[in-house]
Amino acid sequence: MDMNEKDYVVVVQCSIVKQRCPGYLCEKAFNERTGGFAEYPRDRNYRMIFIECGGCCGRAVHRKLSLLKRTIQKKEGLDKGRIVVQLASCVSKNNYHGPPCPHLDYIKTLIDRIGLDLRQDTVISAKSEQRRQEGLYE
């Protein structure tokens, strides 16, 4: 996926985790182009929106992203190919919040059906990465 061909980034975060988390570390990872954002060119500006999955089982992701896709097309003529969805690490990764979302495959299927490009992970903490390598996390 060529990140130079994207204009709009949609980060999908876990609604349960977001009851406490302000999402700062996701934003920081993007700002610094680290973790799941390492492949985004630093000198390119992106529009960005953060949405929650809407709660288990994540089905609201389909409605939210479908509406977003249609609205962006209508208001700005932006094709869906210019949009990239980024699953936050609290959805996609095993970390101190817990294992990945139990509905991860379902959410990925929903996004695939809308025809939007998908990437996984946002912030990747050094400690969690070390625990993954040690086999403590999957």
Instruction: Work out how close the CB of 119 gets to ligand SF4 at its nearest, in angstroms, rounded to a whole number.
Output: 13
Select the residue interacting with ligand SF4 from 9, 10, 14, 85 (CB under 6 A).
Answer: 14
Binding status of residue 91 toward ligand SF4 by CB under 6 A: yes
Q: Closest CB to ligand SF4 among 72 and 88?
A: 88
Query: For the chain, how are helix, strand and coil distributed in percent, rounded to 5?
Result: 45, 15, 40
How many residues does this entry show for the chain? Answer: 138
Select the residue interacting with ligand SF4 from 51, 53, 110, 116 (CB under 6 A).
Answer: 53
Binding status of residue 128 toward ligand SF4 by CB under 6 A: no
Q: Estimate to the nearest angstrom the gap between the alpha carbon of 66 and the chain centroid.
A: 15
Q: Specify the residue for token string 């990239």.
A: 84
Q: Specify the residue for token string 């695939």.
A: 112
H/E element holding 104?
Answer: helix 104-114
Q: Closest CB to ligand SF4 among 82 and 97?
A: 97
Pairing of strands 47-52, 8-13: parallel
Instruction: Work out how close the CB of 20 gets to ligand SF4 at its nearest, in angstroms, rounded to a whole number.
Output: 8
Select the residue interacting with ligand SF4 from 8, 89, 108, 114 (CB under 6 A).
Answer: 89
